[in-house]
Amino acid sequence: MKAINEMKMNFLSRSCNESFARSAVAAFTAVLDPTVEEISDIKTAVSEAVTNCIVHGYKDGIGTVYIHVKIFEGNRISINVKDKGCGIADVKKAMEPLFTTCDTGERAGLGFSIMDSFMDKLKVRSKPGKGTSVTLEKIIVSKGK
């Protein structure tokens, strides 16, 4: 299926870009007239995906985070967030609620759970040493409909 609109952006994996990334994606989807709750869901899911790239994918340095957003017929949006970082050896394990590699007790281990619950579809592909690609999909039920 061909996208009726799309947007690509790349930025460095600096944590100050987390806010920029989620706001930019939310702004791009504004044309679909999403509700306040839908915007909030998208921002939260994107924030989780981008934070994963920064905290995990590029844990040993700074790399590039790639975001590709597509809008399809029927108000369907697809958001791909990708890094070329360390990758995940066991994706199934990483997606388990409360699983975290952080031992300070300050990270909840709920990133994938939130992405899964706040969006309609979540797809994760990863290769150790190559990077991780997360695709989030949601159908926007516009306010006026």
Partner 1 sequence: MPVEIDIDENIVTAYISGEIDHHNAYELRKKIDEAAERVYPELLVLDFGAVTFMDSSGIGLVMGRFKLIKDLGGRLAIENAPKSIRKVMRMAGIEKLIEKEKEGNFI
Active site residues: 48, 52, 107
- 110-129: which residues touch partner 1 (CB under 8 A)? 110-111, 113-114, 117
Nearest to 3, CA basis, from 110, 77, 109: 77
Task: For residue 140, give the DSSP letter.
Answer: -
- 62-101: which residues touch partner 1 (CB under 8 A)? none
Site string for partner 1, 20-39 (x = CB under 8 A): --x-------------xx--
Residue 68 C-beta: closest distance to partner 1, Å: 21
For residue 56, state whether it binds partner 1 (rule: CB under 8 A). Answer: no
User: In sequence order, what DSSP letters do the residues of 65-126 get, joined into one string?
Assistant: EEEEEEEETTTEEEEEEEE-SS--S-HHHHTSTT--S--SS---S-HHHHHHHHSSEEEEEE
| Site residues for partner 1 per CB under 8 A | 15-16, 18-19, 22, 36-37, 40, 43-44, 47-48, 51, 54-55, 104-111, 113-114, 117
